[in-house]
Amino acid sequence: MTEAVYGRVIVKLSGEALAGSAGFGVDQSIVEAIAADIVAAHRMGVELGIVVGGGNIFRGVEVSGRGVSRPTGDTMGMLATVMNSLVLEAAITRNGAPASTLSAVPLPTVCDHFSRQRALDLIAGGRVVILAGGTGNPYFTTDTTAVLRAAELDCQAVLKATNVDGVYSADPKQDKSAVRYDRLSPREAMERNLKVMDTTAFALARENAMPIIVFSIREPGAIEAVLRGKGRATIVAE
């Protein structure tokens, strides 16, 4: 059996990944499949932090201007990530791995507040840690959160789950001539304006030499395959 390539990683799931074809809310069958993938990765002995987005419920930039300010819209987005995190925590626990949610937005009656030490203690205790509430600040994204948490929690990579099997020069669903990259640097990703992550996330990854592995979450066992160095993916690294 192949050993895991990484010992500790952050897995970044978009909110849309939980929504399925409905595009909004949570498709429970998809959540169960993703949770089973995460539990399989945990059983390999890999230490896992999970960052989930909120785009299946609210994105600040989309709701702002419709009666709320951008910071308020972003707060709604951050609270949406907490809802998704609680759904995932339940599903991961049900599938057989201990999991805890820590939120960067203080919600004392819901879950513990994020601190680096608390997250490290939970990981050392063998739990999957779900990092909710983004960075806790408006104007950021959960992609940036994923790279930030990976750096501060001494992870070796960010596994960015998407609907396609890597990074392309253009949207492969719309442009048949789109070229797929096996590997590229964060600088190239920023210069070519590739939309897979925002510029802040790529800049942070570059400054901290944090590899980002972009892969499709659609195939069962995708996370485990990437961790064994076998899955089809694009590596964004210097």
Exactly one of 49, 60, 211, 231 binds ligand UDP (CB under 6 A); that residue is 60
Question: Shortest Cβ distance from residue 124 to ligand UDP (Å)?
Answer: 25
* Residue placing its CB nearer to ligand UDP in the complex, 80 or 226: 80
Exactly one of 4, 123, 134, 162 binds ligand UDP (CB under 6 A); that residue is 134
Which residue stretch of 13-21, 93-101, 153-161, 163-171 sits at the interface with ligand UDP (rule: CB under 6 A)? 13-21
| Burial label, 41 (beta-carbon count in 10 A; 0-12, 13-18, 19+) | buried
Which residue stretch of 1-9, 56-64, 123-131, 211-219 sits at the interface with ligand UDP (rule: CB under 6 A)? 56-64
By CB under 6 A, how many residues form the interface with ligand UDP? 24
Number of H helices, E strands in the chain: 9, 11
| Cα dist from 82 to 71, 99, 220, 228, whole Å | 17, 14, 25, 30
The amino acid present at 187, given as its one-letter code, is R
* Residue placing its CB nearer to ligand UDP in the complex, 137 or 156: 137
Long-range contact set of residues 152-156: C-beta below 8 Å, sequence gap at least 24: 152/116, 153/8, 153/10, 153/49, 153/116, 153/119, 153/120, 153/123, 154/8, 154/120, 155/6, 155/8, 155/9, 155/10, 155/49, 155/210, 156/6, 156/7, 156/8, 156/9, 156/211
* Residue placing its CB nearer to ligand UDP in the complex, 49 or 53: 53
User: What residues from 206 to 225 belong to the interface with ligand UDP (CB under 6 A)?
Assistant: none
Exactly one of 53, 166, 186, 211 binds ligand UDP (CB under 6 A); that residue is 53
Q: Which residues are annotated as a binding site?
A: 12-15, 54-55, 59, 74, 135-142, 162-163, 168, 171
User: What distance in Å separates the CA atoms of residue 171 and residue 120, rounded to the nearest whole number?
Assistant: 37
User: What residues from 22 to 41 belong to the interface with ligand UDP (CB under 6 A)?
Assistant: none
Q: At what angle do helices 70-94 and 28-43 cross, to 10 degrees?
A: 60
Using rule CB under 6 A, residue 202 touches ligand UDP: no
Residues that bind ligand UDP (CB under 6 A): 14-16, 53-55, 59-61, 73-74, 77-78, 80-81, 134-135, 137-138, 140-143, 145
